[in-house]
Amino acid sequence: MSGTPFAIPVNEEECAFIAGRVAAFRFFEEPAGHRWEHGANRAYMERLRDRWLHGFDWPAAVARMNRLPHLQVEVEPGFCLHCVHLRSQRADAVPLLIMHGWPGSILEFDALYERLAAPEDAHAPAFHVVAPSIPGYAWSDKPAAPIGPRAVGRLYARLMAALGYERFLAQGGDWGSVIGGWMGLDCPALLGLHLNGFGLRPADMRPTTDAERKWLAWARAIRMTETGYLALQATKPQSLAYAMMDSPMGVAAWFAEKYCGWSDTAATVVEPPFPLDALLATIMIYLTTRSFATATWLYRGMALEGGFTIPEGRRIEVPTAVAAFPHDLLAFPPRPMVERGYRVARWTAFAKGGHFAGLECPEELLEDLRGFAASLAVMPGPS
């Protein structure tokens, strides 16, 4: 097993710069009656700024993250990935690669780590948990140029091999669902794939039923109203970076709009269904590591790789579990359409939940992942 133990630093100099820029920020006009339909909501951003300056404790957030064992692992000569690596004490534990997305981080799984490794029920599956930061994100090294999710999948496979895991399960939403899809095609070590987002798409997405036509109309509407960020970050990320790398409040607004808009919230609610400090900690990860720019490179890398479509004539034959949360930006189409590209072994439709399942619905995500692992019979069970 390889890797260098790592502790997340506070970086006081960077924190002082961030606090100064947040304190100096000047608010501006917004349209009358605006909630979130035109972008970030001013009332919410004022509350976020006030909490950031007068209540949020970044050193405490860092200390909480450092309760977990972190590693820096060399996956290519001179290139390291950061990861949480929490090994279970159970002899029957199975390796689990759990993958965050954008604008996320390892904090998406904060409520899950210990319970995955040491379940309360001795008969529940246990896991050796590996949660990497995507290349260019947080404490992983920054690539010299944009790389896409397929390349990241290859790096993740090397990470698992470097940690001594010959076979493993993978779980992901957002980018994790796209990276996981590519691993399902490229990585023979994968035992199963658990997805809470419809990332990598089948080559044939032509609707054949009313339900499929309804989903496709919804997907097109979402693309028009919610994915302008994707088009920008996949084409000209460096131009955006010149604004964001100098404006902590700009990054906060860019992220807050996603966390509020993509979560399962009522139309009049102006905050996501998890604590404000969780969002501020995520923002601070990007800011203190100066990784907003290189995080957006993954979108450019995806475009250079050719998009997020399964190659014609290919299908992901790894057993796949679908955790379908109804208010996800990447909500799944009807099962037959998904099965054109995936060998679906389990399908769970939830009554609530949005894009950030680990933050919004950790209990549901945990139980579904455990159920999938148990169904694969990859563990002998506790003695």
The domain locations on the chain are: 48-376
Q: Does 78 score more than 70 pLDDT?
A: yes
Would you say the C-alpha torsion 190, 340, 301, 240 has a positive or negative sign? Answer: negative
Amino acid, single-letter form, for residue 15 = C
Q: Can you give the pLDDT at residue 326?
A: 94
Q: Positive or negative CA dihedral for 164, 169, 173, 176?
A: positive
What is the distance between the alpha carbons of residues 175 and 159, in angstroms, rounded to a whole number?
17
Model pLDDT, residue 2: 81
In this structure, of 26-35, 180-189, 336-345, the range with the lowest mean pLDDT score is: 26-35
**Looking at residue 272, what is its pLDDT?**
81
Better-predicted residue by pLDDT, 35 or 7: 7
Phi, psi (rounded to 5 degrees) for 164: 95, 15
Average pLDDT for 40-58: 96
- Are 320 and 343 contacting, i.e. CB atoms less than 8 angstroms apart? yes
Average pLDDT estimate for 111-120: 97
Other Cβ atoms less than 10 A from the Cβ of 306: the count is 10
Q: What is the C-alpha separation between 312 and 153, in angstroms, rounded?
A: 19
b/e map 351-383, b = 16+ CB within 10 Å? eebbbbbbbbbbebbbebbbbbbeebebbeeee
In the chain, % of residues over pLDDT 70: 97
pLDDT of residue 76: 96
If you average pLDDT over every residue of the chain, what do you get? 95
As a whole number, mean pLDDT of residues 176-182 equals 98
1 pLDDT tier (thresholds 50, 70, 90): low
pLDDT for the residue numbered 378: 55
Query: Is pLDDT above 70 for 47?
Result: yes
Residue 94: the pLDDT is 97
- Between the alpha carbon of residue 228 and those of residues 81, 175, 234, 253, 281, the distances in Å are 29, 17, 10, 15, 25
Q: What is the pLDDT of residue 186?
A: 97
Contact 325, 350 (CB under 8 A): yes
Q: Say what the pLDDT of residue 379 is.
A: 44
Per-residue model confidence (pLDDT) at position 71: 98
E strand map for the chain = 4-6, 70-76, 79-86, 94-99, 127-132, 168-172, 190-195, 316-324, 342-349
Mean of the pLDDT values across residues 97-113? 98
Residue 380 has pLDDT above 70, yes or no: no
pLDDT of 319 > 70? The answer is yes
Superfamily of domain 48-376: Alpha/Beta hydrolase fold, catalytic domain (3.40.50.1820)
Q: State the average pLDDT over residues 313-339.
A: 96
* Lookup result for tokens 């690539």: 143
Res 36: pLDDT: 87
Residue 201 confidence (pLDDT) above 70: yes
Specify the higher pLDDT residue, 381 or 366: 366
pLDDT band at 381 (very low <50, low <70, confident <90, very high): very low
Instruction: Give the 3-state secondary structure percentages of the chain, helix then strand then coil, rounded to 5.
Output: 45, 15, 40
- 350-360, pLDDT tens digit by residue? 999 999 999 99
Instruction: Give this prediction's pTM.
Output: 0.96
- Looking at residue 273, its pLDDT comes to 85
Both tokens assigned to 325: 């949360």
Query: Which of 33-47, 62-76, 93-107, 208-222 comes out lowest in average pLDDT?
Result: 33-47
Helices 58-65, 276-288: inter-axial angle, 10-degree rounding: 80
Over the stretch 242-270, which tens digit does the pLDDT of each residue have?
999 999 999 999 999 999 989 998 655 66
Residue 62 makes CB contacts below 8 A (sequence gap 6+) with 8, 9, 10
